[in-house]
Amino acid sequence: MKIRNAMLAILAFCLSCFGDALLPVRSYQVHPGNYMKHYGSSLDKDLREDGEGRLGLLIDGKNQETGVCYVFWRCKAEDAYMCFTLELSDEHHVSKVGVRGKNNTGMFANPLRGFIETSSDGLEFSAPGKTVEFNAVGIGDWLVELPVDQRARFVRVTLFSSPVKYLNVNELEVFGN
């Protein structure tokens, strides 16, 4: 037992010295900007059959072919977004959030821009952080990272897409210590 505690202490020290670790996410919610755009359709592989909550595909460590996918055809550009509210296991210093997805065909697009909000209680969130612009990616996997540098238990990620494309998010990763 003493050896195990010593090893855990060394690991914690190393993580604090050498960078950020992947933080555990307890749960998350997903909200599209335009609620009527395929919410709960077959494109949303992460929605439970009863419609009450999520299966956890976005935090299972596997980059799925399709996770949460929405299409924003014929909606206003300001409504072409997905918002993810993640609850961490405890309050942590969060340094960045990574979002992975896949453009399966030319009808898909990676996010155009995004920003982060943080909260300690899940009710009152900080003002949005700096909006980060992303470069376009063709067909295939993509990764976008958003800097945070805040203490938080709840992290809200908002990603804007093209109003004429599908946005397919497969994995959310929160880093910090």
| Alpha carbons 176 and 149: distance in angstroms, whole number | 8
Residue (of 161, 145, 76, 78) closest to 112 by Cα position: 161
| Alpha carbons 138 and 148: distance in angstroms, whole number | 27
pLDDT above 60: residue 111: yes
pLDDT above 50: residue 8: no
pLDDT above 70: residue 81: yes
Average pLDDT over residues 108-115: 93
Higher confidence at residue 95 or residue 71?
A: 95
Residue range 25-37, pLDDT digits in tens: 999 998 888 755 5
pLDDT above 80: residue 7: no
CATH tag, 21-176: 2.60.120.260
Residue range 134-156, pLDDT digits in tens: 998 899 999 999 999 999 999 99
Residue range 10-68, pLDDT digits in tens: 544 554 555 789 999 999 998 888 755 555 456 677 777 776 778 788 888 776 777 88
CA distances from 98 to 11, 59, 81, 95, 175 (A): 23, 11, 17, 10, 8
Q: Determine if the pTM surpasses 0.85.
A: no
| Alpha carbons 177 and 162: distance in angstroms, whole number | 34
In sequence order, the β-bridge partners of residue 154 are: 87, 119
CA dihedral 8, 12, 13, 15 (to 10 degrees): 130
